[in-house]
Structure formats: structure tokens, C-alpha cells
Structure 1
Amino acid sequence: MTRLPEIAYPPRKPYPSDLSDAEWEILKPLVPKPKGFGHPVEVDFREIFNGIFYVQRTGCQWEMMPHNLPPYSTVYNYFQKWQRKGIWQLLHDQVRQQLRTELGRNEQSTVAIADSQSVKTTGKKGEVYGFDGGKKVKGRKRHLVVDSQGLLIGVLVSEANASERLGAVVVLDEAKEKLSKLEVVWVDQGYSGKNFANAVKQVCGEKVLVEVIERTSGTFVRLPKRWIVERTFGWLNRFRRLSKDYELYSEISEAMIYGSLIRLMVRRLAA
């Protein structure tokens, strides 16, 4: 029987979400290395990241990924495994340190800005689900703490009806190893009160001040210092997967946020 010759297909055209050569050179050394035993790894990690970034940027379902990317099950399994092992946060923090150094900043920030954002979910998602009566949103709440450059220090995804003060304290407590030089936390009026200020001091140290940036006008204005965290929320809006919370588990939602910001920071470093 005559064997047909193999057809050499040209390399696929890149998607806008793909890593460039320069961006991959930044991310490649940070990818977890195989343990050295068992079946050898045969996947192309650059294409795994390209598949993950494609889903985050376009907002499509995993099984809707284009066929010229790796199988969606392989891509999702790596995304989930890295979430379970805390690798997304580790990668994010390493890239963030590189970017802060590139910007002429110390690795640890002396400033933190806290805020929250309520987002809808597609139906009732898992156990982490609630109703934000103030924003009239059924879903979840993203608690962010960022540095003076708007780069993420920590994130917590909770029920939409969760206290934003408590959420900020939890994030600060989980990120306190990255906040040894912290001097001030800027917040809006929703975080005012002695109880919150005392909780921040207990978590971050007695010398840390909580400064409330109050709105002085009834119309919309860009508040000093407060716009930094609002810009970070705007960065998240570039990724359609984050337009709502589509994930069943809040831990996956947090990994989605870390992954999206990794993509933005790598692009800035390569530029």
C-alpha cells in the first residue's frame, strides 16, 4: 500500500493575545520546571500560555478555543494545576518585581490603595455568591490592593454582599510579607472608621496610616490617589473573560485576575 507523503502545514498566524518572542523570553525562565522524573513533558508551554491568554482576552469558553492552539483540555488542566499550586500568584509577583525595578521603584511599595468592585455572575456560581444592595449586583465582589503604580499586591474574590473593609484586611494580611515597608493605605469613604484603621495596624504594623480620600463634589471627578486603583479595574476590563465572573470557584476567578495582569505587565516589560 502506497503511503501518502506528510503535508507540511505552515505555522499558524499569531493571535493578538499571543506572546511575542520578547515577551516569551521574559516569562520563559519563570515557568515551573519539570521534576525530572516520570513521563517527559511534551507540551509547548508558550502555546499553553497563548491558549490561556486567548480565553482571557476573548472571553470564550475553554472548549471554544481554536483548533490550531493546543487541545483545550490540556490548556485548562495546566491553568487549573497552576492555580491549585499557587503558581499564578508566584509568577505574577515575580513579573511585578521586575516591572517595578524597570520603573525605578523598590520591590516593596510604601503605598497601598484598596478598593472593591462588584461584578455579576452568570447565574448562581458555587457557594461564593451574594447580592450587593448598594450596587444592586447579584454575584461576587473583587477586593483589590494595589501599589502606587496600580500593580496588584493582592486580590480576594468574595460574595457580593461581603464587607469591603473585611475584604481589604484579609488581602493585606495575606500579602503582609510583601508590605514590610508599607507606610500608608489610601481608601475611599467606604473604608472610613477607627475599626478598619485599627485592623490595618494590627496586620501591617502600628506605623501604617490609613488615609481616607473623601469626595468633595457631587459630580464625578478624578480623585487624587484614588484614581490609581480605578485604573487597575479598567485594565481588567480589557479582558472579556473578566467582564463578568464566569467561574464556578472563586479561586479560579482570582487566578484569572493574576493571569490577565501578568499578560499586561509582560507586554510593558517587553516594550
Structure 2
Amino acid sequence: MRTQSYPSDVTDEQWGLIEPHIPVYPGGRPRTTALRDVTDAVFYVLRTGCQWRYRPKDFPPKSTVGRYFDEWRHNGTRDTIHDLLRKKVRTAERPYSPRTTASVDSQSVDTTSGGEERGRDNAKNVDGRKRHILVDSMGLLLAVLVTAASVDDAKAAAELFGRLDEQPMGKVRRVFADRKYHNYALYEWVETNARWELVIVRRPDGAKGWVKLPRRWTVERTFAWLGTCRRLSKDREKTVRSSEAFVKLAMIHLMLNRLEPKGGDAEFQYHTVA
């Protein structure tokens, strides 16, 4: 039984949003591990960035936490919880307001040693991987794809967009992107496969340094949200599937704290103005 709590732990109210969607399989031996403790262990690793074996000993064993982490990734539990929480956040903050725009961008990050899909992004001077995300007008995640950092953004975009089939894109009319996505093969893919328009937002002529671009700042803000999780400061995963899983877990943790804020924890008080 755990005697220590941590800032990354879910509250009773937050656990109430998660628990109903974790599958329970009939038969077999009775479960002896508290799934809430497993969830807290995963969020502890996500928020602190520590290695699995360095997590506090009052959490369940590493093998147990890892088994559930893999199971929930493969059986769709993580995706189900993410999508349901996203719907709740959107309904609570923007009721009766359908998505009509979205934004796409990528982020190159260094990797630790080992693992698949690694490369060099010469433009960013990064050896590692690249996170491609597409978010709605509130900055909520619609799709994520992790590739080697050497992969061209426009080339990866077609695969990223292909992951939107079961996402709420029915009323989206425009997806905003920067000039990295100016690619005629990508335009052809969008015209053939999508019902929305890809809009390239360009920097003003002569502009220097960082410039706030119309409707593009939402995806940059989402990357900033992800940056609060030390596990994501580098890509520390052996597989890209685990990398994508931690991105979605970060958004789950974010949305839990938007739906059921922790009293006095200003770090989690995210707001949107979109």
C-alpha cells in the first residue's frame, strides 16, 4: 500500500474519468495490483523524466507497470481515454462550436542512445527523431507521428494525415501549415484524400527572429505544453510507438488537469483563447 503521494498523481476526481474505460477481463486470478497506482507510476515517469527502474519503490514493480503500459497501448485503451477526454474538454470549454480549422507542425528532438528511426535534421542541428502533430483550434491533439529527424515534413504529413480517419474532422475546412509543407505531392494527396484545404502560412517578407503567425501559434503552444513533461525533453524511447504513446499520455495528463484542476497547482492551469 502506497504511503507517499506525488504531484503527478491523479486525484479522485481525475481517476473517476479514467477508471471506467480501463478494460476488465473476466476469468483468471483476481488482480492484486491497483491500476490507479500503475497510472500514477506512468505519469510519474512522464513528468519527472526518470528511468523506469529509478521510480520510487512504493509504486508497483517495473515489470508490472511496463506490462500495463504496453497492454493499454496495444489494445487501444490509451487512445480511447485520450479521445474521450478531448471530447469532454472541447464540450466544456467550447460547447456547440465545431472544429473548422486545424494546424500541423513538427518538432525535432535529440534521442538517447539506441532505438529505431534515428536521423539528423541539419536545419535544426539535431540528431534524433521528429514529432509530427496535428491539433485542432484549441491545441488539442488529433494525430501524432514520430519519425527519424531526417524525414521531410511534407513527406511525413501524408502519413500523419492518414491517421485522421477516426478523428472528428467532418467540419474542418482548413489545415494551417508553414512553408515546410509547400509540396506539390502533398497538395495532390490532400486533394485526393481529404475534404479540407491545406493552407500555407508564410512569414512576412523581411521578418527576422520569431514571428507570431496567424492561426499557427496554436500548434506551437501545444509543443510548449508537451515541454512541461521532462520525459519528452529528449526522445528516450527504443521504439517510435512508445514515443507516440508518451505524447498522448502527456495530453491525457494535461486534459485531466483542465477538467479537474488540482487546487493551487498553477503549473497545470492551461487556458485557451482560440
Q: TM-score, normalised by structure 2?
A: 0.89
Counterpart of 1:153? 142
> How far is the alpha carbon of 1:108 from its aligned partner?
6.1
Which whole-Å CA distance do the structure 2 matches of 1:107 and 1:170 have between them?
28
Residue 215 of structure 1 pairs with residue 203 of structure 2:
yes
Q: What are structure 2's unaligned runs of at least 5 residues?
A: 262-274
Residue in structure 2 matching 1:168, options 157, 165, 169: 157
Q: Kindly indicate whether the alpha-carbon contact (under 8 Å) linking 2:139 and 2:219 is maintained by their aligned counterparts in 1.
A: yes
Which whole-Å CA distance do the structure 2 matches of 1:26 and 1:107 have between them?
23
AA partner of residue 29 (structure 1): P
Counterpart of 1:17? 8
Counterpart of 1:5? none
Which whole-Å CA distance do the structure 2 matches of 1:213 and 1:119 have between them?
23
Counterpart of 1:131? 120
Q: What are structure 1's unaligned runs of at least 5 residues?
A: 1-8
1:39-118 equivalences under 5 Å are 39-105=29-95, 109-118=99-108
Q: Provide closer, same or farther for how the CA distance between residues 193 and 243 of structure 1 changes in structure 2, counting only shifts above 3 A.
A: same
AA partner of residue 150 (structure 2): N
> How far is the alpha carbon of 1:15 from its aligned partner?
0.2
Counterpart of 2:268? none
AA partner of residue 201 (structure 2): I
1:241-260 equivalences under 5 Å are 241-260=231-250
Q: Kindly indicate whether the alpha-carbon contact (under 8 Å) linking 1:148 and 1:228 is maintained by their aligned counterparts in 2.
A: yes
Which whole-Å CA distance do the structure 1 matches of 2:114 and 2:31 have between them?
37
AA partner of residue 262 (structure 1): I
> How far is the alpha carbon of 1:215 from its aligned partner?
0.9
Once structures 1 and 2 are overlaid, which stretch shifts more, 250-259 or 193-202?
193-202
AA partner of residue 53 (structure 2): E
Residue in structure 2 matching 1:142, options 106, 131, 141: 131
> How far is the alpha carbon of 1:107 from its aligned partner?
8.6
Q: Which has the larger radius of gyration?
A: 1
Alpha-carbon RMSD: 1.6
Indicate the SS of the match to 1:153. Answer: strand
Q: TM-score, normalised by structure 1?
A: 0.90
Residue in structure 2 matching 1:264, options 248, 254, 272: 254
Q: Kindly indicate whether the alpha-carbon contact (under 8 Å) linking 2:4 and 2:58 is maintained by their aligned counterparts in 1.
A: no
> How far is the alpha carbon of 1:106 from its aligned partner?
5.5
Which whole-Å CA distance do the structure 1 matches of 2:95 and 2:131 have between them?
26
Residue in structure 1 matching 2:170, options 155, 176, 180: 180
Which whole-Å CA distance do the structure 2 matches of 1:105 and 1:246 have between them?
37
> How far is the alpha carbon of 1:166 from its aligned partner?
2.1
